[in-house]
Structure 1
Amino acid sequence: MLLLSLAAAFTGFWAGHPAYSQQKQSASLTKYVDPFIGTGFHGHVFVGANVPFGAVQLGPSNISQGWDWCSGYHISDSTIVGFQHTHLSGTGIGDLGDISFMPTTGPIKVFKGTAKDMQSGYVSTFSHQQETARPGYYAVQLNRYHIGVRLTTTQRVGFHEYTFPKSDQAHILIDLEEGLGWDTPVKTAIKQVNDTTVTGFRYSKGWAKDQRIYFTAVFSKPIKTFAVYDSTAAKTGMALEGEKVKGVLSFTTTAGEKVYVKVGISPVSTANAMANIKAELPGWNFNQTVATADAAWNKELQKVQLKTTDEDKKRIFYTAFYHTMIAPSTFNDHNGDYWGTDKKVHSKAGFTNLTTFSLWDTYRAANPLYTVLQPERVNDMISSMLAIYQQQGSLPMWHLMGNETNTMVGYSAVPIVVDAYLKGFKGFDAKLAYEAVKATAMRDEMGTKYVKNLGYIPADSTVESVAMGLEYAIDDWSIAQMAKKMGNMADYQYFSKRGKNYQNYFDKQTHFMRGRVSATEWRTPFSPFVSRHRKDDYTEGNAWQYTWLVPQDVEGLIALQGGEQPFIKKLDSLFIAKGSIGAEGSPDISGLIGQYAHGNEPSHHITYLYAYAGQPWKTAEKVRYILKNFYTSKHDGIIGNEDVGQMSSWYVFSALGFYPVNPANGLYVFGSPLFDEVNLKLPGGKTMHMVAHNNTDQNIYIQRIMLNGKSYTKSYISHADLMQGGELVFEMGSKPNLNWGKTLQDRPYSAKP
């Protein structure tokens, strides 16, 4: 019935679009998603089975450790140490990898082994030719044991299928020691409840300092014997608690026998983990669960329908769209219970609690994208952030599994909350939201006391002072807009002034943003090319990249550079400047065009700044180059860390033809639409039908635009107009229309007067 209802919904959605009326719109789009895109180079993407924004990310982890294995998997590797129920996707730090299951045969081994001595442990090799991944599904053959593995999930339950050979020594190892990256166990426990059920928990510390996850595993085949181990030493009994507990379930299997395991996870208790299984996966139909997961992904992917003759571009687009929906991840039980940042259980919350908030990355494009394509989830995201505020006294910075990691700079939840409020989302407490954004900005931590007292952060007081100060200015500007709409003019004036603090980092002699030691002295020596990873005035960047980090007041930045022509000249020079970033530069600085670094987030809005100076055609050139060269369908097809959806959100927006330069003013600046025809499914049964006539790899320049049959001369579109739906028609050409978007009244703006 689910598949039939989805098909009916999609048919109804398309009924009003003649251009598509002859097509069968129930065809699944998941076939275009390739989860292996981004598994090479530094993409760090998750590979495995999950559902959109699910609590479970069930997939393999390699034996290798290191920066390129932050997600546990890299395409260069061919080893597996287990199938774990939590993974990060695209981060620059490794963590999670909780509740590891590994099927084996032969003598019991409970140490995973090493890359140099795999035979001493239980690790197995595999071939990528015998590996399959698609949305909601993963399969692989373990060479060492001749065991076939298939995985799928519901929201909070991992579903394993193991096809064993004939063996009287068939095992399933549950390794609670195993984790990824910085993660190490602190306290673990395992217990056999009956002949088909095992429960336990894993407390660990890592990037997130105090992680707690509970599990209940139900097996389709009665357990023949159960043994417990503290690390590698066997213990007697059916239960064990310790630092590095492991359990081994043994069976006798016939050739080709399938053993199924349902693993519910919970941030609260093993009882809730079992309740999650009963609510989400009461039966044992593996193939139906795969189909249900596929339908869940297809429902999301169908929100964007593309028409193009280039199938490769479809694969890149839908894979990027898929990557935007791995996180934020669900962090509550089916009954609403969750574990808070205050280390307390919060029962039956009235919203879906979420975690994995990589906000310094995602406030730029991923969160604005959610307001367009995931509006039904935005209120839960904001409510989760407000709950964190109530529990820890400030909005989250980089929230992970009930922990504040305090990673990156700025208080980047602020523009996300403000953007949702200004766009009219009503499913959260607006009064509490304003209290939260203001309280977060008025602390005396991480340089904010200097912001309040001096208007800048002295470079000799802390590292990354320029990056901090520029991010704070964006956030403070956002608070000012919320205060204004609420009628709080005193706060509007105060935070507007703080939003101008970026000016205090601008050196009129060099025309770069740089570290200031005092009101009269700059930090020396200075080079705009220098980037010393986490040791200088910038965060994963240099002065070339950070000089443009003023999306909240581009007009003010133009004035600082001396006007439109000097601004354009300086912006042009960014893309051709040559100089070494240095041996100590951040590995995140990748995807270089001159000193523009697309592989890291501070650069993401820069190509669209030309529109503010009346030259949107230059945006088209740069955007099309990036779309073509920095996003491909190969394993190394993402030019930097995926960063929990931000890298892919840039692609999704830009391929559609526009981008949110300012993260909280509700405007999308036009660039160069990639597809001939697009339909966006919007709330309330509305659609935005977008057509790009004469669109080719050469015809990259917008000549003119029609909106609902009328000439539209602006080089941007508002969120309100976009969400009304209708038809947006682009006329494309091979040469720039130098008059399109040139006049002041047609340019994007930072804030209405």
Structure 2
Amino acid sequence: MKFLKFAKGSLSSMLMLSVAGAMMTNQAFSQAKPKESLTKYVDPFIGTGFHGHVFLGANVPFGAVQLGPSNISQGWDWCSGYHISDSTIVGFQHTHLSGTGIGDLGDISIMPTTGALKMSKGTIKDMESGYVSKFSHKEETARPGYYAVRLKRYNIGVRLTTTKRVGFHEYTFPKSDQSHIIIDLQEGLCWDTPVKTYIHKVNDSTIAGYRFSTGWAPDQRIYFSAVFSKPIKNFSVYDSTVVKPGTSFQSAKAKGVVTFATKAGEKVLIKVGISPVSEVNAFENIKAELPGWNFNATVAAADAAWNKELQKVDLKTNDLSKKKTFYTAFYHTMIAPSVFNDYNGDYWGTDKKVHRGAKFTNLTTFSLWDTYRAAHPLFTVLQPERVNDMINTMLAIYQQQGSLPMWHLMANDNYCMVGYSAVPVISDAILKGFHGFDIDLAYKAMKSTAMRDTLGIKFVKKLGYIPADSTANSVSMGMEYAIDDWALARVAKKLGKQEDYQYFSKRGENYKNYYDPKAGFMRGRLSADKWREPYSPFTSIHEHGDFTEGNGWQYTWLVPQDVEGLMKLLGGEQRFTQKLDSLFIAQGDMGKEKSPDISGLIGQYAHGNEPSHHVTYLYAYAGQPWKTAEKVRFIVNNFYTDKPDGIIGNEDVGQMSSWYVFSSLGFYPANPANGLYVFGSPLFDEATLHFPGGKAMHLVAKNNSSKNIYIQKVTLNGKPYTKSYISHADLTKGGELAFEMGDKPNKNFGKLMQDRPYSTKP
């Protein structure tokens, strides 16, 4: 394997060109966008407390590298590797998940130390036995694209930043004859276990290797190349804690140590390129993205990248706390899906093959059961230039594994959660007019995925429901399938496939088969005339239950695709609203098996979990949008704050934050694939959404206040607008949408049938 050394002269030239190019780009950008830096309103510590599970560290929007610290503690609250309650660091790792309910990744861990060399990380009870260090939150800084801390045990200053595919480390050492940088390929997060690792010295500036591991994603592979600013004179390799001869080693637990003497205040920099394909590609990623050694310029470039994205929404508010909450939520929506290919387009597929020079940006980390509800609709509004890459990635996965992704991670599908939730995402994109992908292939992929015989689908095709004694989570699974099938039917209609339209429309109504009119709730069905016993709508989820992270109260409302049909099923508009009112006050014992995912409770409404996210907006379908306003205002004010525990539940890869972004602006995609945004209660006095091509939608909430939460009337481009929703087409045309707010409900607004949101256009 051949590596080229950087030439000092070419580095200087390339750095000058890079800085000059960045200056030109920034100058052009500043003429088109607001000049104010918005990254100062982002606090990455929000969500690191309670059960938020967010990533803390340095990255760029949708970047492959999430470079940040990991604590020694492990467990559910450390799924991202870091929790604000902890004060230990075992390394700075290049991949992290953000807001998931299961821990994985934590690849290529680097830890600087001094003194006697320790090769294990240590334990909570005996930290001195390993290299773990304490730190103080007072000496810790995090902002978009940048992280800094001081390791107390070693008095080493740490600064981190990134490009898309390169992590950039700066370590400031004290005076020491025994300064070390440990590259630990054994170390990973929570459920991640190394299977095969390799490390070797390439030359006097470069260490390279790979880490193959298993975890939530069963077959993970990542390659790296690490280029040092200080010549590597002493490099040793280890099998876990046992030193081995030579400068290369392969095992399940390979580690490497660079040792040198440092002067007081000496800075050692490391550029770590990662790749899903090869060490060479990892090295080429460094050459392409980070040819120089100017750490501060790289920090500035990362900051500029985040500002470019954040300035797609320009808020005007005097409430600094809410401004921080908003921009941090917006920031959290742009951590994933993350890049999963090299600068040259190469990527590792789910078919366990290298795909060369892809013409689209391949991505990973699709938490689709969560994100199809609001995160992906938000991408169609504020990230339209990325939507085609997301769809093309899903179609490539289909071609490689025979079905669309369910929960895709690092070229693996872990088949987590229920439903084939890529279908509404692709349907939404097609119905909104995105066409940067093969629509015929997309339809084939959706239909093939929906017509399998696995995961209970054979029962859907034969019976119209999944028997509760045949499959765990049968109710949740079947109801998610109904949403997906409805979305597929809409595309079939658009493409003129009438037979498919009729078939999948009928399957979209299968939710009715889980409704027991005697109980008044959705529940597990055993046969055409028999229900699972015993039953309580308050019963919590458990491993082999009928519901996925929820209960009958919550899942009875999981019909965003046919609210009118649900209304009829529940006995009409009046009974529908009465029962919906009851949801928010019902009290009952959810049982000892209660999932920590079920948080943010208002009665039995659980905002901390995704199946509830559309529910507050259902009132508008019954002509009572003022009730939506009450619930939404309470949630945005109480379940989202600017504190570390400021996210009421698991962030779930941007979905919790996407709900907030939409809802605080004044609307939400209650149906994730019909292109309508239902009005709620705008939180901000003014906001401007910037779209490609110079278009912008100016949102105004007149007379807005903490008491004036109800929409009195609306104008669109100065003309009266009586509907309680706006379409995607009208929103993205730009113009001005003005809400007049008041402290008492205008019960006539949105009351007429023609002004209500609808599931399917009549």
With structure 2 as the length reference, what TM-score do the two structures score?
0.97
* 1:582, distance to aligned residue in structure 2 (A): 1.1
- Partners of 2:157 and 2:284 lie apart in 1 by 28
Deviations, residues 33-62 of structure 1 (Å, cap 9, x unaligned): 000000000000000000000000000000
Contact 1:70 1:95 in 2 (8 A): yes
Matched, 1:394 2:403: yes
Paired residues for 1:445-594 under 5 Å: 445-594=454-603
Matched, 1:162 2:171: yes
* 1:581, distance to aligned residue in structure 2 (A): 0.9
Give the partner amino acid of 2:128: Q
The equivalent of 1:217 in structure 2 is 226
Q: Match for 2:77 among 58, 68, 72?
A: 68
Q: Match for 1:638 among 643, 647, 651?
A: 647
Matched, 1:125 2:134: yes
Q: Match for 1:2 among 4, 22, 26?
A: 22
Matched, 1:428 2:428: no
Give the partner amino acid of 1:168: D
Cα distance, 1:6–1:689 mapped onto 2, change above 3 Å: farther
Paired residues for 1:217-236 under 5 Å: 217-236=226-245
SS in 2 for 1:209: coil
Give the partner amino acid of 1:352: T
Deviations, residues 468-497 of structure 1 (Å, cap 9, x unaligned): 000000000000000000000000000000
- Partners of 1:140 and 1:359 lie apart in 2 by 34
- Partners of 1:224 and 1:122 lie apart in 2 by 22
* 1:561, distance to aligned residue in structure 2 (A): 0.7
Contact 1:457 1:465 in 2 (8 A): yes
* 1:9, distance to aligned residue in structure 2 (A): 3.2
SS in 2 for 1:644: coil
* 1:275, distance to aligned residue in structure 2 (A): 0.2
Contact 1:136 1:290 in 2 (8 A): yes
SS in 2 for 1:453: helix
Give the count of matched residue pairs.
742
- Partners of 2:32 and 2:533 lie apart in 1 by 64
- Partners of 2:419 and 2:706 lie apart in 1 by 38
Contact 1:3 1:295 in 2 (8 A): no
Paired residues for 1:37-116 under 5 Å: 37-116=46-125
* 1:511, distance to aligned residue in structure 2 (A): 1.4
* 1:181, distance to aligned residue in structure 2 (A): 1.4
Matched, 1:629 2:638: yes
Specify every segment of 5 or more residues in structure 1 that has no aligned partner in the other structure, as ranges. 14-24
- Partners of 1:215 and 1:533 lie apart in 2 by 40
* 1:614, distance to aligned residue in structure 2 (A): 0.3
* 1:499, distance to aligned residue in structure 2 (A): 0.2
Give the partner amino acid of 2:114: T
Give the partner amino acid of 1:268: V
Paired residues for 1:5-404 under 5 Å: 5-13=25-33, 25-404=34-413
The equivalent of 2:14 in structure 1 is none
- Partners of 2:86 and 2:108 lie apart in 1 by 21
Contact 1:55 1:329 in 2 (8 A): yes
Give the partner amino acid of 2:564: E
- Partners of 1:11 and 1:486 lie apart in 2 by 42
* 1:533, distance to aligned residue in structure 2 (A): 2.5
Contact 1:307 1:675 in 2 (8 A): yes
SS in 1 for 2:698: strand
The equivalent of 1:669 in structure 2 is 678
- Partners of 1:732 and 1:71 lie apart in 2 by 40
- Partners of 1:750 and 1:660 lie apart in 2 by 11
Contact 1:534 1:540 in 2 (8 A): no
Give the partner amino acid of 2:742: G
Give the partner amino acid of 2:624: Q
Deviations, residues 620-646 of structure 1 (Å, cap 9, x unaligned): 000000000000011100000000000
SS in 1 for 2:381: helix
SS in 1 for 2:179: strand
The equivalent of 1:618 in structure 2 is 627
* 1:580, distance to aligned residue in structure 2 (A): 1.5
Contact 1:6 1:299 in 2 (8 A): no
- Partners of 1:509 and 1:412 lie apart in 2 by 31
* 1:586, distance to aligned residue in structure 2 (A): 1.1
Deviations, residues 425-466 of structure 1 (Å, cap 9, x unaligned): 010000000000000000001100000000000001011000
Specify every segment of 5 or more residues in structure 2 that has no aligned partner in the other structure, as ranges. 1-20
With structure 1 as the length reference, what TM-score do the two structures score?
0.98
- Partners of 1:31 and 1:567 lie apart in 2 by 45
Paired residues for 1:718-729 under 5 Å: 718-729=727-738
- Partners of 2:694 and 2:266 lie apart in 1 by 47
- Partners of 1:191 and 1:713 lie apart in 2 by 68
- Partners of 1:452 and 1:671 lie apart in 2 by 37
* 1:195, distance to aligned residue in structure 2 (A): 1.0
* 1:4, distance to aligned residue in structure 2 (A): 5.3
The equivalent of 1:20 in structure 2 is none
